[in-house]
Amino acid sequence: MNNIDDRISLEKQVEAACPAHLHRVNANDAFAAKQVLLLASLGLMPIDKTQRKLFSEVMPLIYMLRKKEGYTFKRVTTLLKDCGFKLTQSSVRVYYYSLLAEHEEEYIKTMDEKMALMSEIIRETQDIEFSAISGKVAEIMERKRLQDGF
């Protein structure tokens, strides 16, 4: 027997041993499939990293919403989806707690600063006309920006 006959015989033996419902994939197709899946997974990773990075940037605000306003993860997820995030509720929960473990003191400080700023805005806009409020808030924000050195 020559090589071709041996190969055909081997293929027939494999076909006989494999149930009909199993689909065999040749080496070239298997390699191509692996490359396509690798490229697809690389294409997905930056999206996740970008969302996680942006999530970490807004995390102090999310922390404040959860602590001061009682937002649930469902409500936070809905809010984030409205802003263009494509995260599940479980992903939001995982991101939240992983970032919280690393930066909770920073979030508490940020929340305290925001609450102090809101108190200042309320105090300074209490007795002025409605039409002048936005100007007064802009003035307070500018003063705060200069104090912080930005």
Domain that holds residue 131: 3-148
Rounded distance between C-alpha atoms, residue 73 and residue 89, angstroms: 6
Looking at the predicted structure, is the pLDDT value of residue 150 above 60?
Answer: no
The stretch 127-135 carries a mean pLDDT of: 83
Summarize the confidence of residues 113-129 as an average pLDDT: 85
How many structural domains compose the chain?
1
Query: Average pLDDT for residues 9-27, to the nearest whole number?
Result: 61
Q: Quote the longest CA-to-CA distance of the chain.
A: 103
Query: pTM for this one?
Result: 0.51
pLDDT value at residue 74: 94
Query: DSSP string covering 28-83, please?
Result: HHHHHHHHHHHHHHHHHHHHHHHHHHHHHHHHHHHHHHHHHS---HHHHHHHHHHT
Q: How far apart are CA 45 and CA 87, in angstroms?
A: 13
Q: Has residue 98 got a pLDDT over 60?
A: yes
CB neighbours of residue 92 within 10 Å: 21
Residue 120, pLDDT > 70, answer yes
Mean pLDDT score, 49-74? 85
Q: Please report which confidence band the pLDDT of residue 76 belongs to, taking 50, 70 and 90 as the band edges.
A: very high
Per-residue buried b or exposed e for 106-133, using 16+ beta carbons within 10 Å of the residue's own CB? ebeebbeeeeeeeeebeeebeeeeeeee
Q: Cα separations (Å) of 106 from 26, 67, 100, 136?
A: 55, 14, 9, 28
Please give the pLDDT value at position 104.
Answer: 79
Task: Give the pLDDT band (50/70/90) at residue 142.
Answer: confident
- The whole-angstrom separation of Cα 12 and Cα 16 is 6
Please give the structure tokens belonging to residue 2: 């020559």
- Angstrom distance (rounded) from CA 128 to CA 136: 9
36-40, 106-110, 122-126, 136-140, range with the lowest pLDDT: 36-40
